[in-house]
Amino acid sequence: MGEWCILSLGVHLPKLAALGMELEKHEGKKENETTVDEFILLGFTGVWELQVFLFAVLLVTYIMTLAGNLTIISIIWADHRFQTPMYFFLSNLSFLDILFTSVISPKMLINFMMHSKTISYGGCVAQCYLYFLLGTVEFMLLAVMSVDRYVAICYPLRYTTIMNNKVCLLMMLGCWVGAFFSVLTPVIELSRLPFCNVNVLDHFFCDIAPLIQASCANTHFFEMLAFISSSVVVLSSLILTSVSYSYIISTIVSIPSATGRKKAFSTCVSHITVITIAYGSSIFMYVRPEQSYSMDFDKVAAVLTTVVTPLLNPFIYSLRNEKVKEVLRESWANFKPYFK
């Protein structure tokens, strides 16, 4: 009996050893796929002097962005001359720009001055979600603003009836709801990616590209999902904007007087400029050959979309809009005696 037990054990020992190795391998793999608690953001550079310089420049830019957009919002809501659909949407665009840059800039500025440039896992996912949520809302809002310009120029007598307060509120709500659901699923899938204890992101915020690079899973499905979602949003808003402006241009061309054509077109110049910057910077950042991809290039492009564009928008609308300039001059005249 003892010999049979020894023989049986001798036969099964290799199988038990193999099973143990498989279990150990499985446990090791499972351990490696443990989600990290925080990420380290490498940012721009490790040179302290350059970090201080960038901190100063970007801090001034952030303050100017807040000041410019808050000024636009204040004068629109304080002056009865701006109680029209066009300025309602413009005030919402300024509000979006404040939120958009505030999702990225404060943490980026803090990291410039900190030795440990970390962000929690939950904070990273939240930042990524808010970044794409607000960007999607802005694309949809720009498309809605093109529809507003279409109604104003093609149906001027019915403009206030068609674009009433209820319609404007519903259009704005539609932008937020549509953006919420279009971004939600890709970010949920992103939060499920394993990172195999690799928590270093070569970026200054939690963008999709560095998160994909850090993940140890097959990200093909997620990349396809994100591509389809972003393509639907960008293409639908671009098509709506293009169709609206094709009718706008057709109507402007048919206006008999040169003065009338100039006046009609002037109401669209600021919006066209903002659209060009928004689509141009996004294409510059995300639509390029894979061979030319560079994380340093990506960081510079991200600064354009997250810092520079929100700064430019209020200046574009204030410098190109006579009514806004008139109100700013009046406001300065009222406050000027206090500075003497």
3-state secondary structure the chain: CHHHHHHHHHHHHHHHHHHHHHHHHHHHHHHHCCCCCEEEECCCCCCHHHHHHHHHHHHHHHHHHHHHHHHHHHHHHHCHHHCCHHHHHHHHHHHHHHHHHHHHHHHHHHHHHCCCCEEEHHHHHHHHHHHHHHHHHHHHHHHHHHHHHHHHHHCHHHHHHHCCHHHHHHHHHHHHHHHHHHHHHHHHHHHCCCCCCCCEECCCCCCHHHHHHHCCCCCHHHHHHHHHHHHHHHHHHHHHHHHHHHHHHHHHHCCCCHHHHHHHHHHHHHHHHHHHHHHHHHHHHHCCCHHHCCHHHHHHHHHHHHHHHHHHHHHHHHHHCHHHHHHHHHHHHHHHHHHC
For residue 20, being part of any structural domain is answered with no
For residue 214, being part of any structural domain is answered with yes
For residue 248, being part of any structural domain is answered with yes
113 to 45, 56, 103, 118: CA distances (angstroms)? 12, 11, 18, 12
For residue 222, being part of any structural domain is answered with yes
Whether the per-residue pLDDT at 27 is higher than 90: the answer is no
CA distance 185 to 14: 47
- The whole-number pLDDT of residue 336 equals 60
Whether the per-residue pLDDT at 62 is higher than 90: the answer is yes
Average pLDDT of 123-141?
92
Whether the per-residue pLDDT at 22 is higher than 50: the answer is no
Asked if residues 297 and 51 have their Cβ atoms less than 8 Å apart, the reply is: no
Number of domains in the chain: 1
For residue 127, being part of any structural domain is answered with yes
Residues of the domain holding 216: 35-330
* Listed ranges 114-118, 175-179, 257-261; the one with the highest mean pLDDT: 175-179
For residue 9, being part of any structural domain is answered with no
Confidence of residue 293 (pLDDT cuts 50, 70, 90): low
For residue 45, being part of any structural domain is answered with yes
Q: What are phi and psi of 40, to 5 degrees?
A: -105, 120
pLDDT tens, residue by residue, 192-223:
888 877 788 888 888 888 888 888 888 888 88
- The whole-number pLDDT of residue 320 equals 65
- Residue 115 is part of a domain; what is its CATH number? 1.20.1070.10
CA distance 232 to 182: 9
Enter the pTM of the model: 0.82
For residue 339, being part of any structural domain is answered with no
Q: Mean pLDDT over all residues of the chain?
A: 80
Confidence of residue 292 (pLDDT cuts 50, 70, 90): very low
